Amino acid sequence: MVDVSQHNLVPDHSIVDDAELDDVLEEYDIKETDLPKIKRTDPALPDDAEVGDVIKIVRDSRTTDTATVYRLVVE
């Protein structure tokens, strides 16, 4: 079986710690539930990601070198 999360086209996915999450939510003046969602079954998620965690995804970007987005893990 192939580990999709290790494929070179899949961007880095990491679990956000509480301190960083507070900074992000404050910066954008939003709540966790306002974030876009990602399903727990998504193969790119880290193995230890649980429902309710926030995932930081860092993608390559042609215009800004990298683009960072956040997703809330849902069932």
CA 66 to CA 53: how far, in whole Å? 22
- Can you give the pLDDT at residue 19? 94
C-beta atoms surrounding 12 within 10 Å: 14
Q: At residue 69, what are phi and psi to the nearest 5 degrees?
A: -130, 160
Predicted TM-score (pTM) of the model is 0.86
- pLDDT tens-place string over residues 12-66: 999 999 999 999 999 999 999 999 999 999 988 988 999 999 999 999 988 989 9
- Cα angle at 29 between 57 and 41, to 5 degrees? 35
CA 43 to CA 65: how far, in whole Å? 25
* Digit-coded pLDDT (tens) for 50-61: 999 999 999 998
Provide the CATH number for the domain formed by 4-74 in this structure: 3.90.940.20
Domain boundaries, the chain: 4-74
Q: Which residue has the tokens 């990491």?
A: 14
Fill in the DSSP letter of residue 36: -
